[in-house]
Amino acid sequence: MIRFLVFCDLHMEDCVDGMERLERILNHAKEEQVDFIVSLGDLCFPTEDHIPAMELIRSCGIPVYHTIGNHDVQDWEIEQSLQFLGKEKPYEAFEMGEYRFIILDTCYWKSETGEYHFPNKQRIPSLYPWVPKEQRDWLNEQLSDGKKCVVFSHMSLVNPFMRRGIANKEDIQQIFEGKNVLLCMNGHDHGSDLKKIGGVPYYTVSSASQFCWWSADGRKVENLFYKDPLHVIVELDEDEIRIQGMASDFEGLRPEDVGIDDYRWNGVDVHPVAQSHVLKRTK
């Protein structure tokens, strides 16, 4: 059995207690003796004041794999973010036991002239987020030897709500057809959800700090912080995929205070929880 912890969207710069939240996540990983940890992105800006957070992560004694999030490259080139995170490539794969774990980089945009990594400093009208052809070809290759795979990405590969999910999601779903994709996991949506498309479960991991709400005209923004750093532990065995989530509460403002009575927003559930699920394996 393989066990791993997944967290995302800590947004250290937004939190007064970012280090404490990170420490709690890492301590839980140690207590649970997971095989590895995945950060699904939007961890912190790649700046000097966040070096202690990276040192804490490196000293935890468990391998930590990073996914590039839009906030990790909103004002920085990808090379700077990679160097900060200690990553060699923006997308990568690693194997453990009978499984291959694939980490995508969905932080690209596409215009008439080509496919480019964030940031889009020129503000050229474009399609985004986007997974470029080169990465799609690489993904297809990774899935083509029949190995059972789990795919991680910052943005959703299925969420159709405005520009939450990647714009060329159908291209990715098509690559998955007939392949051994056991599970996809994403962050970015600051909520929790499970969608099943083409027999593949797509699970969205809640933020480790907050539900970030903004008004329809984009003028008003509120960060609705959770009391606890939400994250999940995933167990893979021969029969099941068990996603062990957790529940928390809001620290102050709640969704109904910003007019969200049904707790659905941006295509996900915004209760202060990371949903738990037991999925029967079909592959």
Name the site residues for Fe ion (rule: CB under 5 A). 9, 42, 69-70, 188
Closest of 188, 192, 223 to residue 206, by C-alpha:
192
Tell me how crowded residue 14 is: count the other CB atoms within 10 A of its CB.
17
Report the nearest approach of Fe ion to the CB of residue 52 (Å).
Answer: 21
Query: Between residues 71 and 179, which has the closer beta carbon with respect to Fe ion?
Result: 71
Query: Between residues 118 and 138, which has the closer beta carbon with respect to Fe ion?
Result: 118
Report the nearest approach of Fe ion to the CB of residue 268 (Å).
Answer: 12
Query: Between residues 39 and 275, which has the closer beta carbon with respect to Fe ion?
Result: 39
State whether residue 174 is helix, strand or coil: helix
Report the nearest approach of Fe ion to the CB of residue 157 (Å).
Answer: 14
Report the nearest approach of Fe ion to the CB of residue 204 (Å).
Answer: 12
Closest of 270, 116, 113 to residue 204, by C-alpha:
270
Report the nearest approach of Fe ion to the CB of residue 120 (Å).
Answer: 14
Tokens 């935890």, residue located: 60
Query: Between residues 9 and 105, which has the closer beta carbon with respect to Fe ion?
Result: 9
Report the nearest approach of Fe ion to the CB of residue 163 (Å).
Answer: 11
- Measured in whole angstroms, the distance separating CA 73 from the mean position of its chain's CA atoms is 15
Residue 24 token pair: 């709690």
State whether residue 222 is helix, strand or coil: strand
Query: Between residues 169 and 179, which has the closer beta carbon with respect to Fe ion?
Result: 169
Using CB atoms within 10 A of its CB, is residue 86 exposed (0-12), middle (13-18) or buried (19+)?
exposed
Query: Between residues 100 and 195, which has the closer beta carbon with respect to Fe ion?
Result: 195
266: left (phi over 0), alpha (psi -120 to 50) or beta: left
- Torsion, CA 151, CA 70, CA 207, CA 232, rounded to 10: 20
